[in-house]
Amino acid sequence: MIILADAEARVVVRRAGREDVRDWCDRLLIVPGSRLAEEAIGTNAVGCAVEERRPFVVAGGEHYRENLRLFSARAVPVRHPVSGVIKGALALACRTEDGSVLMLPLVEEAAARIEARLGDDTTRQERLLLDRFLQTTRRSAAAVVCLNRDLLISNTLAGPLVSPADQPFLWDWASRVLAARDEYCGELRLAGDVVVQARCTTVREEEVVAGILIEMRPHSATLRCAGRTVRPHRPAGPSDDSPVPGRSAAAERVRRELAAVAQARRPILISGEPGTGKAFLARHLHERDGATGSVTVLETGQCRDDPRAWFERLRAGLTVQGTLVLRQIDELPVELASRAVGLVERVDGRMVRVIATARLADSDDGMTRLRDCFPARLQLPPLRQRAEDVADIARVLVRDLADRSPPPRLEPATLQNFMGQVWPGNVRELRAVLSSALLRSARRDIAIEHLPPEYRAAPIKHRLTSLQRVEREALLNALDDSGGNKQAAAELLGIARSTLYRKIRILGIDGRCLSG
């Protein structure tokens, strides 16, 4: 019996030479459209080959389902010859007593022929990209990566540096540095605190742009490009368990400032838009020092119903060993904030660490004296200003949300989509989207179709020029600074309100983009 399945281990074709075998398969629902994934029917060759991404043999009693134990099967994953993405699996099954050691080589040969046919069907752009990749790897001793929006090809030297999951980040980075040129040389920060020197070039034939070629050399090396020598420096990068994942300059700054404020026992103010992770970092600071005692959280909203009771809880919290977190102090009534100043100023940092969160680090709202009680400051940037970090953050969130190990992978198209979204709700919004997608994907790799409907459309950000992206960010910042008031935003930008409305429409800024 021969089975051809897709990337979700769903049967596409089933062929059996004997009628009794066909009838038996029908009774077991091994028919086109049925799923043979491991989580659906337990251990089986097709499901394991797709899940493990390697040839798999399951014989007799190794099957999870008892009614499959009369058979032995050999399955081999089928990969796209250019991208290396698993497209499905091919399996050959027979009664256990009829098994042969020749079955696996036969299936491997058949799978290789399918992959060759897939290669024949590649587009002109993919062939151009593959040809440039092969030409470069024959003459270059560097780690080489070729990519476009949908695929990534790498040589052996690039294997330890990048993976298919890095494709969205590399594509976004390369698209930015090559926006006004065909070649760029400079420093590239990869995941895992790896910094390389990169030569990045556009792959084109006449007017046909196929993709981008990146040659990478170790951090210690120098690189000649366009008549100049590039000598790198090594910035600090995140560790696997960093509370601030990402490789952008903004993420590096936050990690550096976090390390600095963690050393002191002085009151800390963490500012940033809703959903940027202020409360999470407050708890991290408590756990980072191995601090004794508990974490007490005081919500500003609680003071509206009973200001006196809230103030007494503040007084009590400042006498208990541990960490006291005051959330959203910029929403405190001015009178209550003034009374809180006297308590916070006298706090003994050796016994209790006080951490406050606020939307803004500085503001003329009558809260200046209270903010001044927090000499250590940490400002978290919104997610829309950290597009190159979104893929790293998303992978960490999936790892935390998933109930299995290894966690489901995020398909490159999904990550590319994420990097173009605006994320007005920041990390909290991204986490909610991933939580929903995990449920829809049924623990499989997360594709575009698993996202909530409003996130599936291609983000307009990817259809803008570099100048338009800068213009769009300036408009968003002005709308943020004006609290969503379009007249005030237009005045900040020095343009007419009618011009602002026209720009909002052209640049794809809608209600979700306004953090109000």
**What would the pLDDT profile of 86-114 be if each residue is shown by its tens digit?**
889 999 998 888 888 889 999 999 999 99
Asked if 75 contacts 107 with a C-beta cutoff of 8 angstroms, the reply is yes
CATH code assigned to 2-120? 3.30.450.40
Distance, in Å, from the CA atom of 271 to the CA atom of 262, rounded to the nearest integer, reads 16
Percentage of the residues of the chain whose pLDDT score is greater than 70:
87
Distance, in Å, from the CA atom of 11 to the CA atom of 19, rounded to the nearest integer, reads 19
Q: What is the pLDDT of residue 515?
A: 39
Same fold, 2-120 and 124-230: yes
Distance, in Å, from the CA atom of 239 to the CA atom of 247, rounded to the nearest integer, reads 11
Domain 124-230 part of CATH 3.30.70: no
Q: In the chain, where are the structural domains located?
A: 2-120, 124-230, 249-379, 383-461, 464-513
Residue 232 pLDDT class (50, 70, 90 cuts): very low
**What would the pLDDT profile of 244-286 be if each residue is shown by its tens digit?**
988 888 888 999 999 888 887 789 999 999 999 999 999 998 8
CATH code assigned to 464-513? 1.10.10.60
Domain 249-379 part of CATH 3.40.50.300: yes
Fold of 383-461: Helicase, Ruva Protein; domain 3 (1.10.8)
Among 150-154, 197-201, 450-454, 461-465, name the most confident range: 197-201
Sheet with 11-15: strands ordered across: 11-15, 2-6, 86-95, 71-79, 56-59
- Give the relative orientation of helices 390-401 and 167-177 as an angle to the nearest 10 degrees: 170
Report field, pTM of the whole predicted structure over 0.85:
no
Distance, in Å, from the CA atom of 251 to the CA atom of 149, rounded to the nearest integer, reads 24
